[in-house]
A and B are shown apart, each in its own frame.
Chain A
Amino acid sequence: MLRWMIKSLFMEPLTLVVAIASAASAFLLIILFEGIFAGESEQIVAYVRNVKADVWVMQRGVSNMHMATSYIPDWKVRQVRELPGVAGVEAILYLNTVVEVGDQRWFSYVVGLEVPSNYAGPWAMAQGKAQPSVGEAVVPEVFADMTRLGIGDTLRVTDRELTIVGLSKETFSMANSVIFVNKIDLEDIMSSFDIASFMLVKSGPDVSPTELVGAIEDAVEKVHALTASQFLQNDRRLAMQMGTETIALMTTIGAALAILLVAFTIYSQVMRQRRELSVAKALGATNRSLYISVALQAVGITLASVIVASITAAALLPALSNFIPAVTMILTVASVAKIAILGLFVAITAALLSARQIARLDPASAFQT
């Protein structure tokens, strides 16, 4: 029975290919979206992930960087710097704002650096210098490509024109690009002087980051200190949280589409084969055995679709990332596993939808010419 069902599927190879391709596209939609979400979420936390701080200190009540506002007076920076166990402190000023390039506008995270900075600035450069002086900016390479800017061109942060002196790598995402400017410029833009947003603290050799967190909060009032891993976790969680519902929505739509496509394929297959299925019933095949065989057909088609979608995604995602550098995409094992489980659900549902069709086949019609 199973052999017959599988061979029947291959009787019309073109139909089978189109059916698998369509269902695979529906799964690809889900994988792509998950890949984009995973990639962009990682990019959102790229700054926190890559700068080499052990402890982050911020205004009390703040616990992440993404879309947060934090102000700490400069004198608290000095306080932390003088604490035992602190090997170094770099303070940054931080602003979510829109950056203008010609008539284009881009949402960005502007990080004001105290220059020279050892570890709070860009961690990888494509071109130019990494430490912006007053009146200068370091922008993501991808951002520069998209806006057709280069070293020596200018961009506008609020009402301030800054000259591009460096192109950084791994600092661009659609939701936020990280632009580095001199802290003095940002203080001027914000009209806020002698303040910082975050302190990036290095712990000494004999102090663990956790111990340092406790020491800082004990010594300095109205600040919140977190180890780098905790801070990163908070940021990542927030970024993921923003997309969870959308992901669920897209996954549901993709799954529904896949169910419809597989169900239609199975329905067409049963319709095409209804005479043969009637004959099989006449010869003694039970409804149950036919249901199982059709269900296995559905599983086969869905499995093939999942495999095609996964392979296509694995090949496509890096290519798409090169072609559309603005979008960061990551193919995760979790998303492929998710698709596989979803695929099983799709197959079973699609097969169930054809059960009534099979039950209604009349074995006596085998005698009709």
Chain B
Amino acid sequence: MSDFEFRIAGISEGAAAYFTPFGFVNFDDLLDFYFESELAEDLSTFPMLSFLLVDLESDANKADVAQRIEEAVPSADVFEPEALADRDAALGRITLGPIFGMMIGVAYVVGILVTAIIMFAAVNGRRHNLGVMKALGFSNRYLLRLVVIEALLLTAVAIPAGVLFAIIIALLIQSVAPLYLILPTEAVPLIRTTLACGVFAIIGSLLPVRIIFRLDPAMVFRS
């Protein structure tokens, strides 16, 4: 690293991240690095520390301690670990949000089209049955409602199957490329996707509406 050789002494778990993997070296080596690089004649003028990780006594109040540190060191900011993690996560979302948002948008379009093609094939294959129903007195609206309900039922069955599939694929990816952490069962995205699939089902099942409306009930008499 930066012209210094370090011997790997240990392999950590969970410290890899997509853009920011963590490597740990001895602080003394860091001092040597600064000395070697001739960056500062006097190390007291050079910033040596990035973060202080503070452990509190068991009866200490976090908020009080934080305030006291900020008063004592005005140039420092104090965060609880969860708050710092949240800020970093938010930054990640801002950075990657538009990119993945766009791809998810395209994936949603794919979802609608897939549902449409499946419902179209389903209705097309049952023209005669639907014609018989029309002959027996069922209205176009009723038949359309049937198709929409069928699409929703199919979706209801497909979603858990899809989640299971996603979990399997995630495990597979993570075993092959452990750098990636994939969480297909996070509540908010899952709910959002489920609702979106419901909307796809409704939109997709409207594609064969023309077939339904144009079915001739007199076809029942033809072989």
A residues sitting closer than 8 Å to B (CB atoms) are 12, 14-15, 18-19, 21-22, 25-26, 28-29, 32-33, 36, 40, 59-62, 67, 69, 71, 73, 98, 104-107, 159, 174-175, 190-193, 195, 222, 224, 242, 245, 249-250, 257, 261, 264-265, 268, 271-272, 320, 324, 326-327, 369
Contact = CB atoms under 8 A, between A and B. Distances in A.
Interface of B: 1-4, 18-19, 36-39, 45-47, 75, 87, 90-91, 94-96, 98-99, 102-103, 106-107, 109-110, 113-114, 116-118, 120-121, 124-125, 173, 177, 179-180, 207, 210, 223
Given A62-B2, A195-B39, A369-B223, A29 B94 contact: no
Given A61-B3, A174-B99, A324-B98, A98 B120 contact: no
Closest 9 CB pairs of A and B: A61-B3, A61-B2, A22-B113, A25-B110, A268-B121, A60-B3, A18-B117, A191-B47, A71-B39
Contacts of A60: 2-3
A193 B39 CA distance: 10
A268 B19 CA distance: 44
Contacts of A249: 173, 177, 180
Contacts of B46: 191-192
A330 to B, nearest CB: 14
Nearest to A73: B38
Contacts of B47: 190-192
Nearest to A221: B38
Contacts of A242: 18-19
Given A29-B107, A192-B46, A61 B117 contact: no
A29 B110 contact: yes
Given A15-B117, A15-B120, A174 B2 contact: no
Contact of A25 (B96, B106, B180): B106
Given A195-B39, A324-B98, 8 more contacts: A14-B210, A26-B110, A60-B2, A62-B3, A190-B47, A245-B179, A245-B180, A249-B177
Given A59-B37, A191-B47, A36 B99 contact: yes
B114 to A, nearest CB: 5
A265 B99 contact: no
A107 B2 contact: no
B124 A12 contact: yes
B99 A327 contact: yes
Contact of A174 (B75, B95, B107): B95
A36 B91 CA distance: 19
Given A25-B110, A62-B2, A105 B87 contact: yes
20 contacts: A18-B117, A19-B117, A22-B110, A22-B114, A25-B106, A25-B109, A28-B106, A59-B37, A98-B91, A107-B95, A174-B95, A175-B95, A191-B46, A222-B36, A222-B37, A249-B180, A264-B118, A264-B121, A327-B98, A327-B102
B23 to A, nearest CB: 13
Contacts of B102: 32, 36, 320, 324, 327
Given A25-B110, A159-B75, A327-B102, A104 B94 contact: yes
B120 A18 contact: yes
A36 to B, nearest CB: 5
B91 A105 contact: yes
B19 A73 contact: no
B37 A33 contact: no
Nearest to A326: B98
A242 B95 CA distance: 15
A15 to B, nearest CB: 6
A182 to B, nearest CB: 19
A222 B38 contact: yes
Contacts of A33: 103
Residue with the greatest number of chain A CB neighbours at <10 A, chosen from B39, B96, B180? B39
B75 A25 contact: no
Nearest to B107: A29
Given A107-B95, A159-B75, A18 B37 contact: no
